[in-house]
Chain A
Amino acid sequence: MGTTITIKNLTKRFGNVVAVNDVSLTIEPGTFLTLLGPSGCGKTTLLRCVAGLEDPDGGEIYIGNKLVFSHSRGISLPPGQRDLGLVFQNYALWPHMKVYKNMTFALEIKKLPKEEMDERVKESLAEVQMEGYEDRYPREMSGGQQQRIALARMLAYRPKVFLMDEPLSNLDARLRMDMRAEVKRLHRLAGATTVYVTHDQVEALTMSSNIAVMKEGVLQQVDTPDTVYHYPANLFVADFIGNPKVNLLDGVVDGNNSVNLGKFQIAIDTSNAPEKVVVAVRPEDVAISTEPDLGAVEFTAYSILPSGADSTIIARLEGTEITVREMGISKINMDDKIWLKFDSKTLNLYDQESGNLVVSRS
């Protein structure tokens, strides 16, 4: 049921600000693609361009085989003719209409027969587990329920493309977890190509089949969650993805397949690396011990942040600070001596100048 979305050289400016800068992206049928980035990176603008709510300043957009936008040809189909559904951050349920009317609004415009409308409303409400809410007004429901209705409203018109603009960010943490599972299941059920905007990297990692990371209007990397997590294409992506944050250590290649980090060295294949590099290592990839070990470096435990399933340990060695993640509740106390060990198989090496990945983990 899904369809391909092809974006070619798309550019959108607001005054002097380039919100979307020459973005090209192909989204395969049935993909769950997340646009991820900090606020103001252009992800929502890109989504609105696809929806037809913004008029881009350059480029083309195809949905399936249909050219829906082309700057050079002066074409821009109105949103209603693009065969897509959109869920807004604040739900955008029409407050003066009951759930039923909200859901049949688009169907009435399509002039569907009454029986079919009834059937679709029933079906869609069942899909979001909101059976029997037809006669409620939006204000008579909780935020989570309104969000479900917003999803059901989109499902009822059965678009080929789902667009979602931070749909869960107004929900509390617990409800958000439930709804993630829900949205993921709905996507699988409908099979529609989905573009999902979020600034929450955990949400992106847990839900998507593909993640497109954006920064200042420019696409940084488009890959599967696994690849984006383990092989971030540049320092921005590495730093943005992962919680706790990745450790980024400035170093100098000293020729001997090792990187000098000032106080200590790390052994790694540096054949492709420039002189000045940044070593990136995820907190969970650092081995921690309270005993000295061969090749381990002595640090001091600066702070311990246990959170039940795991603990985050901030380790310090003079100016260098390294975050380490340990499973379970840590036995380490503040100001204890600890020994950290790095495995060259888990390290990514970036060019300090360009910020690009030069040597990736095996």
Chain B
Amino acid sequence: MEISLPVPQSLSLRILAASRRFFRWLTRPQVILALIMLVLMFVMVIIPLYSLGETTVTWSQHDLTRVPDAVVGELTIFHWVRMLTGVLGRIYTYTPLQHSMTIAIGATLLALLIGGSLAWLVVRTDMPGRKIINQLAVLPYIMPSWTIAQAWLVLFKNRLTGGTPGLFEAVVGISPPNWLSYGPVPIIICSALHYYTFFFLFTSAALMSIDSNLEESGELMGASRWRILRKITFPLVIPAILSGVIMTFSKVMGTFGGPNILGLPVRYYVVATMIRGSLAAQEKGDAFVLAIVLILFSIITLSINQRLVGTRRSYETIGGRGFVMNQTKLGKIKRALFIAVIIFQVLVIALPIGLLLFDTFMLVDGTYRLSNLTLQHWIGPRGTVYNHGEPGVLRNPKIYSTAWNSIRLALWTAFSTALLGILLGYAIVKGRGTRLSKLVEQLAFIPYIIPGIAFGAVYIAMFARKMGPLPSLYGTFALLVIVSVAKHIPYSSRSGVSAMMQVGRELEEAAMVAGANVWQRFRRIIFPLTSSGFMSGFLLTFITTMRELSLIILLVTPKTQLLASQTMQYTENGDNQEANVVIVILITIVVVGNFIIGRFGKGSLHKGLGM
């Protein structure tokens, strides 16, 4: 029996129609942007990660010195066995990992305590001067993360290194014990004092978004103050707190500056300093095993964290909306509390900078006499006995190219990141609900969980050699820009998404109906409406890139020296004053840059962090 079907169009016509439909899908701006972003992230994140893994399981030229019968280029598990088993495993991997975890957990908890209580005081109490406190609270974040560590050294070092006393010993006359001068305790304190900003910003935004009615209804039902705080307020700010935990934990896990300054004198190694050590010894395979261990550890910790929250919401923004807000009356202690908080903030901001500045004027470290004060380290001539015969920092032509490198890098990175952020935000928000959009959003998250030092290692693995059409980028300025942009992708996608969310889709659709093409829509609607998000992303990236150390410490060469790495080099050469001069210069540039961008660009740090 024959079944008669309606005759469809000819096959070629149907293929033509299908290809037209495909082309139309492909040329939608959100689709094409998403695809471009996928390729970018693939090249900037996925391939380097793969390359990192590959290096750890391949014999290298250098391995021949240890294993003469190795075949270069062949697969091997040598590095993994070496780094994870036996005595070497303990020394190289497990102990540093334990140290990294110790300081990460310690710093996170301490930062949470400081940031959380400050946020509560500022948002939810009648303490005076809350505006000033609010503004001062972000300042530690502007300073390089190791500033406080460096200042700690000026204050608390003992005669263990270099034989000169710190300011504390000189004034009080007691030599501080090693545990106070070096090792985990000061590292934790210094990191926490830097990173509490995250908790402060996240928690205060969350507290601001809680409608007091929620708490009042608890109060009406007869719940006690403490019970309300525990049962209503706290659960509501938990997502914000966990965002801070994720951010701080993964930052401290990969941080290099603090542990390098305060850990090395007592041989307190963390994974980050260990990676640097292995690389300095040409042991790439070993270093990369450590990098992978560090990445895996961060991922495991963070996924446990995510489990606890339930969803990935913790990473998302909690917008500050205006609600009814009633404030806890602090009564008599409010003045005392205000003074205590201000003193704390001055201690955290002004004291380190003051100490560093003071240190730069000391001719010889550790001699606390008026006659020892000098400008030698700033503008001294070449060929003196100080500073290995190098001239003062400002007389050294190197510093200007270094500063210019830093500024150039920060500007390039900030611009590319902010632009990428808007494009990522567009691709993600406009494509909401599609698999492509989800994929882009998830891929964009990856650099977040790769600690800074490991990310640098990833890039060495990939770009040390020629890759297809790409020349070997090691030692170039471009590589520094690429790595900085890549590391910032999570932040840029986050601030881009929040900027795009504020542009209703109707606004672009109205322009479509009016006949505007893609370029006209971007130029006249999308870009103008997201400009404040763009500027905020720009500002945040400018600041973080200026003072980024962990990420670039493995990648700089004498030609591409940056201010951040320059301070480390001075420190490692024992030229503490010069190091501190560079930090002071660095902070000055950041503060001036912050002011200029904030003044003329309408950007704000709060917004840049996606709030």
Tell me the A residues contacting B by CB distance below 8 Å: 51-53, 55, 71-76, 78-81, 84-86, 88-90, 92, 94-96, 105-106, 109-110, 157
When the two chains form their complex, are residues A80 and B514 in contact, meaning their CB atoms are under 8 A apart?
A: yes
Q: Which residues of A contact B9 (CB under 8 A)?
A: 72
Whether a CB of chain A sits under 8 angstroms from the CB of B525 is yes
Bits for B493-522, please: 1 = Cβ < 8 Å to A, else 0. Answer: 000000000001011011111111100100
> How near does chain A come to B36, taking the closest CB pair, in angstroms?
21
On chain A, the residues within 8 Å of B24 by CB distance are: 55, 74, 76
Q: Is the interface of B mostly helix, strand, loop or mixed?
A: helix
Within 8 A of A (CB), among B1-48: 9, 13-14, 16-21, 24-25
B512 in contact with A79 (CB, 8 Å)? yes
| Contact yes or no, B509 A53, CB < 8 A | yes
| B20 and A88 contacting across the interface, CB-CB below 8 Å | no
| CB-CB nearest in chain B for A57 | B21
Minimum Cβ distance to chain B for residue A317 (Å): 44
Is A88's CB under 8 angstroms from B529's CB?
no
Residues of chain A within 8 A of B512, CB atoms compared: 52-53, 78-80
Which residue on B lies nearest to A104, using beta carbons?
B514
**B227: interface (CB < 8 Å):** no
Complex interface: chain B residues within 8 A of A51 (CB): 513
Does B128 have its Cβ within 8 Å of any Cβ on chain A?
no
Q: Which residues of B contact A90 (CB under 8 A)?
A: 504, 506
9 additional contacts, CB 8 Å, given A51-B513, A90-B506, A96-B529? A55-B21, A72-B9, A80-B516, A86-B513, A92-B509, A105-B514, A105-B516, A109-B520, A110-B515
Q: Give the top 8 A-B pairs by smallest Cβ distance, nearest first.
A: A80-B515, A74-B20, A74-B17, A106-B514, A92-B506, A92-B510, A88-B506, A79-B513
CA distance A74 to B9 in the complex (A): 12
Are A96 and B17 in contact, CB atoms less than 8 angstroms apart? no
Closest-by-CB residue of B relative to A165 is: B506
Residues of B within 8 A of A80 (CB): 512-517
Give the complex CA separation of A51 and B511 in angstroms: 12
Write out the residue numbers on chain A whose beta carbons fall within 8 Å of the beta carbon of B528.
Answer: 96
List the A side residues contacting B525 at CB < 8 Å: 94
**A contact patch SS:** loop
CB distance from A170 to the nearest CB of B (A): 12
CA distance A78 to B504 in the complex (A): 20
Separation in Å of the A88 CB from the closest CB of chain B? 5
| A80 CA to B512 CA, complexed, in Å | 6
Tell me whether B509 and A106 are in contact (CB under 8 A).
no
Task: Please state if A109 and B20 are interface contacts (CB–CB under 8 Å).
Answer: no
- Nearest B residue (CB) for A78: B512
List 15 interface pairs A-B (beta carbons < 8 Å), by A numbering. A52-B513, A73-B20, A74-B16, A74-B21, A78-B512, A79-B512, A85-B513, A88-B506, A88-B509, A90-B504, A92-B509, A94-B525, A96-B528, A106-B513, A110-B515
> Is B524 part of the binding interface, using a Cβ–Cβ cutoff of 8 Å?
yes
Asked if A95 and B529 make an inter-chain contact with CB atoms under 8 angstroms apart, the answer reads: yes
Known A-B contacts A74-B16, A74-B17, A94-B525; the reply to A157 vs B506 at CB < 8 A is: no
A-chain residues with CB within 8 Å of residue B529 when the two chains form the complex: 94-96
Q: Among B19, B506, B509, B524, which residue has its beta carbon within 8 angstroms of that of A74?
A: B19
Whether B17 contacts A72 by the Cβ 8 Å rule is: yes
Contacts of A105 in B (CB 8 A): 511, 514, 516, 524
Asked if A74 and B18 sit within 8 Å, CB to CB, the answer is: yes
From residue B491, how far is it (CB to closest CB) to chain A in Å? 25
Q: B517 — which chain A residues lie within 8 A by C-beta?
A: 80
Q: Which residues of A contact B506 (CB under 8 A)?
A: 88-90, 92
* Docked complex Cα distance between A81 and B514 (Å): 9
Contact B515 A106 (CB under 8 A): yes
Q: Tell me how far the C-beta of B5 lies from the nearest C-beta in chain A, rounded to whole angstroms.
A: 15
Q: Give CA–CA (A12, B509) in the complex, Å.
A: 19
A88 and B16 form a contact (CB under 8 A): no
Chain B, Cβ-Cβ closest to A88: B506
Most buried by A among B17, B19, B24, B513: B513
Instruction: A81 to B513: give the CA distance in the assembly, Å.
Output: 8
| B12 to A: closest C-beta gap in Å | 12
Q: Once bound together, how far apart are the Cα atoms of A109 and B514, in whole Å?
A: 8
CA distance A22 to B515 in the complex (A): 28
List the A side residues contacting B520 at CB < 8 Å. 109
**Residues in B506-561 with C-beta less than 8 Å from chain A:** 506-507, 509-517, 520, 524-525, 528-529
Q: CB-nearest residue of chain B relative to A14?
A: B433
In the bound complex, residues from chain A placing their C-beta under 8 Å from that of B21 are: 55, 71, 74
| Nearest-CB residue, chain B, relative to A48 | B509
Task: Tell me how far the C-beta of A194 lies from the nearest C-beta in chain B, rounded to whole angstroms.
Answer: 15
Expressed in whole angstroms, the Cα–Cα distance for A72 and B528 within the complex equals: 39
CB of B240, distance to nearest CB on chain A (Å): 29
Flag if B515 contacts A86 (CB, 8 Å). Answer: no
CA distance A78 to B520 in the complex (A): 14
- For B15, the closest partner residue in chain A by CB is A74
Q: Which residues of B contact A55 (CB under 8 A)?
A: 21, 24-25
Kindly list chain A residues whose C-beta atoms are within 8 Å of the C-beta of B515. Answer: 79-81, 106, 109-110
Bound Cα distance from A51 to B506, whole angstroms: 12
State how many angstroms separate the Cβ of A110 from the closest Cβ of chain B: 7
A78 to B521, CA, bound (A): 13
Nearest Cβ in chain B — how far from A70, in angstroms? 8
- Expressed in whole angstroms, the minimum distance between the Cβ of B386 and any Cβ of chain A is 57
Closest to B19 in A: A74
Q: What distance in Å separates the Cβ of B215 from its nearest Cβ neighbour in chain A?
A: 31
Q: Is the CB of A92 within 8 A of B507?
A: yes
